Structure 1
Amino acid sequence: MEQYTEIDYRLLVDHLTTAILLVDSNLDIFYLNSSCEALFDISLLRASGLPVINLLQTPDDTFNTEEALLNTFKTGQPYTRREAIVSVNFKDIHVDYTVSELNSGKSYHPLLIIEINPIDRMLKISKEENFIQQHQVARQLIRGVAHEIKNPLAGIRGATQLLARSLNDPQYAEFTDIIINEVDRLRNLADIMLGSRQ
């Protein structure tokens, strides 16, 4: 049992799939795990000591990241940003991230731990699901409209046939034939809208 108590915390943190950043009170990068290195395409050696704002600055600038980080140091209050956009090598990445204070005692300076989860894949899946749902709703609407069109068309066709028989006059046959042909054309269009099930 004792051998497991000696495991270096970095070994554990480096095997997490969540990107982890540790930031010092100057808002400089103190540590990042391998998932964070992969996400931001930067090594710990290159990133160490750089301002964290270089990684977390959002293109829209509506959220003051620096102020929020300093506020967490000051108050100890964690915060979470949802669907934040960060730029990596001129490419925007959507992430959720949570910032909280990590204070492990008097011998260590306080640090912020930032847990970052890329959500581009989840957003893409969500958009695809919305598209499929909208497509299904539109298809149901079209099928409903087509079905509602067919009923009156059948009535018009039947009434026109009765009219043609009752008139029994060749001069009106041309007009009733036009009505029947146009009704049939619209009925065929409605059948196409209904699809192969009808």
Structure 2
Amino acid sequence: MDVASYDLLSTAVLLLDGQARVEHANTAAEELFSISRRQLAGQRVHTLFGEDAALAERLPDAIGGKFGILRQDLVIDRRGDQVAVSLAIVPLHRQPWAALLEVRVIEHHILLDRHQQLSKELTAQRESLRNLAHEVKNPLGGIRGAAQLLDVELGPGALHEYTQVIIAEADRLAGLVDRLIAPQGETLRKTRFNIHEICERVYRLVGMEFPAIEFIRDYDASVPDLSGDFERLLQALLNMVRNAAQALTESPPVRSSRLVLRTRIGRQLLLAAHQAKLGVVVSVIDNGPGVPLHLHDKIFHPLVTGRASGTGLGLSLAQDFVEQHGGIVEFDSQAGRTEFRMILPLEQ
């Protein structure tokens, strides 16, 4: 693509060299940053985004093609206003430049509307499912009780196996029902703790369960303690990491399975109903097949799953527990790289 052609685009485009310096900027980039392309040339690109440490750290790998296309949302200062933008860093091959950075402005109200709509949909669906679960629980207990009585009457023998199957399946369904009912009406048991305590517990649990997966822990030691319900946030992250591990092991392996558990401080984060000045972002990144495109808009809905053996409750409950803390779970996915992010505000 000729350099002049980029000026026809409505989104800001920066062409970078191997050291993440700007070599060329289009007209939209000049307007976004209020700087001429001559002044932009030679600047290290992360300085244009408020010296974002996480972006600066990931840039070399992104330019080198480690992430494929790296996408990241953040907030920049634009003529005194805080503006949410979405970045896409595309490594280039056999081109005069090492990478292309596209910057799209996310309208604040659009993003908030999207989060709020998702929250309303999930609340309505969970309420319906909980009502249904209450209706199912009593007859399910009757089925289990009848199977136990029948098992006693039949005594040892070939038919004993069938009654045990009925009892086991009734227990499994009862557990599913309990998981649907449990979050409703419970109050948070808040304590102060460091998010890395949860990360390490999850790492040990899932690491033992899936020894074939390579786990990488990439923690930001500067993340401060937060106030929250330890058990619920532990369950939320456990569901996210286990979901990623199961996706890796249930898909045909095309490379060594890798799962990254990463923490970062985030600033000016857009959550379900407000913007947080400071928060912690816990990312679960895997190199699996990705979330099927037809599930992108409903992956957090109860009983929706892309796995044959999944229940569709893990991510829904994770979103529920995180929302109870004023946060949100979001994701980006493509074949070879899926990232789920648990975003929690650090001020209440």
TM-score by length of 1: 0.51
Partner residue of 2:88 out of 93, 98, 115: 98
Partner residue of 1:112 out of 99, 106, 109: 99
Partner residue of 1:81 out of 68, 72, 86: 72
Distance, in Å, in 2 between the alignment partners of 1:124 and 1:87 is: 17
Gaps in structure 1 of 5+ consecutive residues: 1-7, 135-198
Q: By how many angstroms is 1:73 displaced?
A: 2.7
Query: In the superposition, relative to structure 1, how do residues 114 and 127 fare at CA in structure 2: closer, same or farther (>3 Å)?
Result: same
One-letter identity of the residue aligned with 2:109: K
Distance, in Å, in 2 between the alignment partners of 1:40 and 1:128 is: 26
Partner residue of 1:38 out of 9, 31, 39: 31
Query: In the superposition, relative to structure 1, how do residues 73 and 128 fare at CA in structure 2: closer, same or farther (>3 Å)?
Result: closer
Q: By how many angstroms is 1:11 displaced?
A: 2.4
Matches within 5 A, 1:54-69: 54-57=47-50, 61=52, 64-69=54-59
Distance, in Å, in 1 between the alignment partners of 2:94 and 2:35 is: 27
Distance, in Å, in 2 between the alignment partners of 1:81 and 1:41 is: 22
CA contact (8 A) 1:98 1:115 kept: yes
Partner of 2:14: 21
Query: RMSD across aligned C-alpha pairs, in angstroms?
Result: 2.7
Alignment deviations for residues 66-123 of structure 1 (CA, whole Å, 9 cap, x no partner): 11111113344321013x1112333221011111111225xx3x42211110012xx3
One-letter identity of the residue aligned with 2:106: I
- Determine helix, strand or coil for the equivalent of 2:6: helix
Query: In the superposition, relative to structure 1, how do residues 72 and 46 fare at CA in structure 2: closer, same or farther (>3 Å)?
Result: same
Distance, in Å, in 1 between the alignment partners of 2:102 and 2:28 is: 10
Structure with the higher strand share, 1 or 2: 2
Larger Rg: 1
Higher relative contact order (CA 8 A, sep 6+): 1
Distance, in Å, in 2 between the alignment partners of 1:42 and 1:116 is: 15
Deviates more, 1:29-38 or 1:68-77: 68-77
Q: What percent identity do the matched residue pairs reach? A: 21
Distance, in Å, in 1 between the alignment partners of 2:64 and 2:26 is: 25
Partner of 1:72: 62
Q: By how many angstroms is 1:46 displaced?
A: 1.0
Structure with the higher helix share, 1 or 2: 1
Distance, in Å, in 2 between the alignment partners of 1:98 and 1:45 is: 22
Count of aligned pairs? 118
- Determine helix, strand or coil for the equivalent of 2:9: coil
Deviates more, 1:72-81 or 1:33-42: 72-81
Alignment deviations for residues 147-188 of structure 1 (CA, whole Å, 9 cap, x no partner): xxxxxxxxxxxxxxxxxxxxxxxxxxxxxxxxxxxxxxxxxx
TM-score by length of 2: 0.31
- 4+ residue runs over 4 A deviation: 128-131
